[in-house]
Amino acid sequence: MARSSMQKKKILLVMKELLEKTDESHPLSMTDLIFMLSNNGISAERKSIYHDIEVLRDFGIDIENKREKPAGYYVASRDFELPELKLLVDAVQCTRFITKKKSEELIKKLENLASKSEAAQLQRQVFVVNRNKTKNENIYYNVDKIHTAISENAKVRFQYYEWTVAKEMRLRREGMFYEISPWALTWDDENYYMIGYDQVSQVVKHYRVDKMVKLEVMKRSREGKELFARFDLASYSQKIFGMFGGEEEEIRLVCKNELAGVMIDRFGKEVCLHPVSEASFAVTIRVNVSQQFFGWLFALGDKVRIEGPVWVIQQFKERMRAVQECYK
């Protein structure tokens, strides 16, 4: 190999070695670097390696020379600090819509952003969490296609499946394709949802991205622009419980004071809490009335009571009676 090519390779090897193996607790001495280069067939003097390190510093790599033991050169700062990488690993692990295989691939890539010793700490975290993951390997590509459709103002078409009692995937609507105008992507209850406009029923609908198959971007323009011009995604997410739809209604609840935090966490700090006694307050909310909403209320027990409208109270009573019947 020509001398100039050897020199170019030398500085790249020094950079790679420092990035991959060093941190403040694991520096490399000049002897270590000379030995590494020798193993790669390159003979180098200390002076030339000093020069390489200066070039790398000018390039923007933060290389420090630690004098106390363990002494040597190390990369002092990186694009991501170790606590930040741990946070990202936790996020990948906790996210159900990312498959186990994709989670492992992502974490491997995150490990490359740290030194080998720090990467070992990230790898140990992988085995801490054992959460249920989606089986749909196309999730990554679905999300990317939906983003593409939104940016290109295009509709999408896809098949949508559900699980059977036999734990088998069954396509809804006998495999007929859905054609939807996508306007937003959102997370809810550890799942990814596409929110879009269904021209056939002329309503806003949401679909779990991991349950979509054969998703493709269409050459037809999106519909529902006027509706989504005034669409509030945060408000929509507050009204939908567990991403199950239902008739939207304004509901008045009377709650024990201890539920103030529950209401604020669910509906935001802007929600109005009106004291009705020393021990309770009233709150008026807009929600989509569904079985999931009733389940949320039921979990709060006798600390909350529906004040109106009457038809919602009646439905809640009927739901409770139906549950009681199951235990007779």
Q: Which residue has the higher pLDDT, 242 or 246?
A: 246
Provide the percentage of residues in the chain whose pLDDT is more than 90.
Answer: 34
Q: Which residues contact 136 (CB under 8 A, 6 or more apart)?
A: 99, 142, 210, 211, 212, 213
- What CA–CA distance (Å, rounded) separates 177 from 328? 43
Q: Tell the CATH topology of 247-325.
A: Alpha-Beta Plaits (3.30.70)
pLDDT on residue 292:
80
User: Tell me, what amino acid is at 193?
Assistant: Y
- What CA–CA distance (Å, rounded) separates 153 from 226? 14
User: Mean pLDDT in the chain?
Assistant: 84
Provide the percentage of residues in the chain whose pLDDT is more than 70.
Answer: 86
User: Is a pLDDT exceeding 70 seen at residue 62?
Assistant: yes
pLDDT in tens, 28-43: 999 999 999 999 989 8
Under 8 Å between Cβ of 195 and 236: yes
| CA angle, residues 301, 306, 307, in degrees to nearest 5 | 145
The CATH-assigned architecture of domain 3-77 is: Orthogonal Bundle (1.10)
Listed range (6-20, 105-119, 264-278) with the worst mean pLDDT = 264-278
For residue 4, give both structure tokens. 């100039």
pLDDT on residue 134:
64
pLDDT on residue 249:
83
Q: Which residues contact 290 (CB under 8 A, 6 or more apart)?
A: 241, 242, 244, 245, 246
Q: Which residues contact 256 (CB under 8 A, 6 or more apart)?
A: 279, 280, 303, 304
Q: Which residue has the higher pLDDT, 146 or 95?
A: 146
Q: Model pTM?
A: 0.54
Q: Which residue has the higher pLDDT, 173 or 288?
A: 173
pLDDT on residue 215:
95
Q: Which residues contact 215 (CB under 8 A, 6 or more apart)?
A: 138, 141, 142, 145, 146, 156, 157, 158
Q: What is the mean pLDDT of residues 155-179?
A: 86
Q: Which of 63, 78, 75, 71 is nearest to 30 (CA)?
A: 71
pLDDT on residue 128:
40
User: Tell me, what amino acid is at 198?
Assistant: D
For residue 84, give both structure tokens. 């930040």
- What CA–CA distance (Å, rounded) separates 13 from 15? 5
DSSP secondary-structure letter at 241? B
User: Is a pLDDT exceeding 50 seen at residue 256?
Assistant: yes
Q: Which residue has the higher pLDDT, 234 or 220?
A: 220
Enumerate the β-bridge partners of residue 204. 197
pLDDT in tens, 109-144: 998 888 888 888 776 544 444 455 666 667 778 888
Q: What is the mean pLDDT of residues 45-53?
A: 92
pLDDT on residue 98:
76
Under 8 Å between Cβ of 211 and 238: no
Indicate the CATH number for domain 139-231.
2.30.30.100
- What CA–CA distance (Å, rounded) separates 227 from 229? 5
pLDDT in tens, 269-310: 778 888 889 888 899 988 878 888 888 888 888 999 999 899
Buried b (16+ CB within 10 A) or exposed e, 201-214: eeebebbbbbbbee
User: Is a pLDDT exceeding 50 seen at residue 4?
Assistant: yes
For residue 128, give both structure tokens. 């801490």
In the chain, domain spans: 3-77, 82-126, 139-231, 247-325
Q: Which of 209, 280, 134, 262 is nearest to 271 (CA)?
A: 262
